[in-house]
Chains A and B, each alone.
Chain A
Amino acid sequence: MRLTGAQALIKSLETQGVEVMFGLPGGAILPVYDPILESSIRHILVRHEQGAGHMAEGYAMVTGRPGVAIVTSGPGATNIVTPLSNAYMDSTPLVVVSGQVPTGAIGTDAFQECDITGVTMGITKHNWLVKSADDIPRTVAAAFHVATTGRPGPVLIDVPKDVSNAQMDWYWPSSIDELDLPGYSPVREGDPVAVRRAAQLMLSAERPVIYAGGGVLKARATAALRELAERTGFPVVTTLMGRGCFPDSHPQCLGMPGMHGNYTAVTSMQRSDLLIALGSRFDDRVTGKVDSFAPHAKVIHVDIDPAELGKVRRAEVAIAGDCRIVIEELIEALAAAGLDGRPAAGTGQPGATGRPGTPAADRPALDEWWEQLRRWQDEFPLHYERDEGGAVKPQMVVETLRDLSPADTIVASGVGQHQMWASQYWRFDHPDTWVNSGGAGTMGFAVPAAIGAKVGRPDRTVWAIDGDGCFQMTAQELVTAAAERIPVKIAILNNAYLGMVRQWQEMFYAERYSEVYLSPDLPDYVLWAEAMGCVGLRVESSEEVAPAIDKANQIDDRPVVIDFRTDAFEKVFPMVPAGASNDAIVVHPEQDRNLR
């Protein structure tokens, strides 16, 4: 079958099982847009290429399938650099197709030329400049293989216009061997000797903590993690990228560690004698000052990327492998080494306060540890001052949203205070329901990511919890959502500031506020929402919060934006100051006396 390169590209994407792609056409990619008219693939026309990239990320994060975006050369391609960088940091599988000027014009500074494979070399798992139409099917197959196996990540395929227009004989590679990837072979199984050593360490630990990250979600290892936790009775912390990989409402879940983690999660790691790091990477936002992070802990580190092992913290036992497979191997090794196979926890008896008791009934060695953990939880729960009849508290908005929305609601967020409050106060009981920008910290992520998530899971309610600063960066994609009938819901926690920066200036720059004020009503978010074809609502008092959310949850034919006017003075607590030891955790001022 003779096809043009462009037809072969679209056919390759179809063969790969792509159901939707996000993009915006332009000169160099024009040939590829023509066969899209006949394709089974749904194309969603974005308003800015950054939106296409973040939508593809949101789609990938909730479906586990690679997100696909398509852009033209030059500025089209550079506009998607931020999403590529974001996906690279958060290990999100993404396939971006970019147009390129004709091969003969490459290197001549032609109109809309940009060396995008050069630009994205350091922020993609791999990229390809396709030189011949014959290479297209093989390259597309290789791109999906690389993006989705091993540690997932973004890839880019750059297709010059003459390659799209050239003729080729259609084929489809029948096996991985035909993909021409002699240097690519990700590991899966863990080294059995290391797994047995890890099991031995786990059996003798007195203050263990399972430190579960985004890798658990990527590996579809949530059930395995739950079994491991319940058999061992070990407490579990879930990182910002791992929220939802172990249910927040499980009695063994301590919640999020890190710079804005809760006191118990942070301090449990500091006092731990054994950290079992599963698909987590000792990010600086988790460790604080590395030299004083978990100083007494031995470390078992499981990661599919061997380069993460020992990168930040030396591990007593380092295991390269797929998280699900290695956790299952660990469970077997623990059973073989004499751990009672009976699930120990989840069985925690709810105490008088509704708080479960010590979960590991058959692991008396852990009793003391659990008593300590429960004391910390009692003394230092997440805390904010409730409504004093004044400004709406942003934390209260998150709690109300959580309580009034279905349990499996997908939550997207941007980056800043609202992101931390969302992560702290939402109850993540389901995997793949938290869509946020962790490693890169990309402001403006929420709106397009929520749209992509809703496209991937149209059956779910999708809320974006956004800041007013973030919203202004990518809000135009709500036009896309309205036009394409993608009914996402956006809660703007509008405190009229770049709030996180404001918080740092208040705490660490002597309240010298430099370039952080945004204004609560410029722009008018309700008018803006309406102009973009959404329903716009405004909430100015605590009593209006629940009714507005109820109203938004009932709208299912178009996007909704709620402008919550929230307290500009509210800060995120606890907080570990940048570069400080986690021992220097700052709790809410009202709890401070408990520390002394």
Chain B
Amino acid sequence: MAEGARHHILSVLVENKAGVLARVAGLFSRRGFNIFSLAVAPTDEARFSRITIVVDVESAPLDQVVQQLDKLVNVVSITNLAPHEAVERELLLATVAVDPAERSQVIELVGVFGGEVVNVGADRLTIMLAGGPDKIDDFEGLLGTYGIVELQRTGRVALPKLTRAQPSIAEAG
């Protein structure tokens, strides 16, 4: 996955209603915008869901994507996160075919990356790793040398980075 300025993250708060995902996806397809990844889940408030969309900004200017999305009646708000302004995480599940001789190597690799073996079969392991997109990419590449049987990534979720500035006395008071 080539990272960089090509991709932008939109964190889109939508009404939690039937068909909303179809409206968002339909907008992207009919306007010719490309989605790189997409993750949807309810928020802490039952009325709303959050869709995290990684957009290919070479397919259309980001501003045009945001403005068109904002016209959807079910879209409540859009937060535009440049990659360096966001904390991003993604989860990977992978089942790898490993003969007993290689098993310890794979477990070691998982350990180095801070992942977890979540299921063990006779000649297979299912592994989980959560992390930033670069880390997941690296891990996926290294796993590839062992024969991946199945692999699933969730797509990114993201929140804005917190500012490090101390609150002023007035604000704190």
Contacts and interface: CB of A to CB of B under 8 A. Distances in A.
Contacts of A122: 26-27, 30
A269 interface: no
A125 B75 CA distance: 13
B105 interface: no
Contacts of B68: 307
B141 interface: no
B122 interface: no
Interface in A116-172: 117-118, 121-122, 125-126, 129, 146
B19 A117 contact: yes
How many chain A residues sit at the interface, stated as a range, is 10 to 19
B70 to A, nearest CB: 7
Residue among A126, A183, A309, A310 with the highest chain B CB neighbour number at 10 A: A183
A121 B71 contact: no
A126 B26 CA distance: 13
A125 B19 contact: no
Contact of B72 (A118, A183, A306): A183
B126 interface: no
A78 B61 CA distance: 34
Contacts of B64: 307, 310-311
Contacts of B15: 182-183
A118 B76 contact: no
A310 B73 contact: no
B74 interface: yes
B70 A306 contact: yes
Nearest to B29: A122
A126 B74 CA distance: 9
Interface in B38-88: 47, 61, 63-64, 67-68, 70-77
A404 interface: no
Interface in A24-73: none
B32 to A, nearest CB: 12
B10 interface: no
Contacts of B63: 310
Given A126-B73, A182-B76, A183-B75, A310 B61 contact: yes
Interface string A400-438: 000000000000000000000000000000000000000
Contacts of A125: 71, 73
A121 B23 contact: yes
A77 to B, nearest CB: 16
B22 interface: yes
Interface string A304-316: 0111011100000
A121 B22 contact: yes
Contacts of B19: 117-118, 121, 129
Contacts of B61: 310
Contacts of A117: 19
Nearest to B30: A122
A183 B27 CA distance: 16
Interface string A90-132: 0000000000000000000000000001100110011001000
Given A122-B26, A122-B30, A305 B71 contact: yes
B22 A118 contact: yes
B158 interface: no
Contacts of A310: 61, 63-64
B123 to A, nearest CB: 42
B73 A307 contact: no
Contacts of B14: 183
Given A183-B75, A307-B68, A310-B61, 16 more contacts: A121-B19, A121-B23, A125-B71, A125-B73, A126-B74, A129-B18, A129-B19, A182-B15, A182-B47, A183-B14, A183-B73, A305-B71, A306-B67, A306-B70, A309-B67, A310-B64
Interface of B: 14-15, 18-19, 22-23, 26-27, 30, 47, 61, 63-64, 67-68, 70-77
Interface of A: 117-118, 121-122, 125-126, 129, 146, 181-184, 305-307, 309-311
13 contacts: A118-B19, A118-B22, A121-B19, A122-B30, A129-B19, A182-B47, A182-B76, A183-B14, A305-B71, A307-B68, A307-B71, A310-B61, A310-B64
Q: Which 9 A-B pairs have the closest CB atoms?
A: A307-B67, A126-B73, A183-B76, A183-B75, A306-B67, A307-B68, A122-B30, A184-B73, A182-B76
